[in-house]
Structure 1
Amino acid sequence: MNAAIQSQISYSDTLKARKAHLSGLINLVKPKSGKTTKIETMTIAAIKAEISIIEQQLKKRG
């Protein structure tokens, strides 16, 4: 039986990848026109809050 290959990705790298992913999501959610819906506004706020938490975690680790 073959042993499972384990990834050597650090927690900091995981946080950086998550932050990059969330930043990409913000670009998808941002409205193209000047008008935004409440859902878009709340979604963008939630994503920004999550990015802020990730940045705090990265500062603690670095």
Structure 2
Amino acid sequence: MIYQMRTSASWSDTLKARKEHLTALLKIVDIKPGKTTTVQTLTINLIKDEMSYVESKLKGRP
């Protein structure tokens, strides 16, 4: 089997694309004052946690 190796540049690009996607999702789930549901709150918290994780991975890359 032939395995394709990922370079650090492609991994960084993947993380950056993931971060942009999460940012777009966060805008879609936008909370209006006084109209928050539990599902919205949980979704936003999970998206923010995932964004923090991606940012930490990007900072760890040279």
TM-score, normalised relative to structure 2: 0.80
Partner of 1:36: 36
Per-residue deviation at 1:59?
0.3
* Total equivalences in the alignment: 54
5+ residue gaps, structure 2, are 1-6
Partner of 2:60: 60
Structure 1 consecutive aligned stretches of length 4 or more whose deviation exceeds 3 Å: none
Let me know the Cα RMSD of the aligned residues: 1.5
Partner of 2:13: 13
Per-residue deviation at 1:30?
1.1
Partner of 2:48: 48
Partner of 1:24: 24
Q: Work out the CA distance in 2 between the residues paired with 1:30 and 1:45.
A: 12
**Identity score, percent:** 50
Q: Work out the CA distance in 2 between the residues paired with 1:44 and 1:54.
A: 15
Partner SS state of residue 10, structure 1: helix
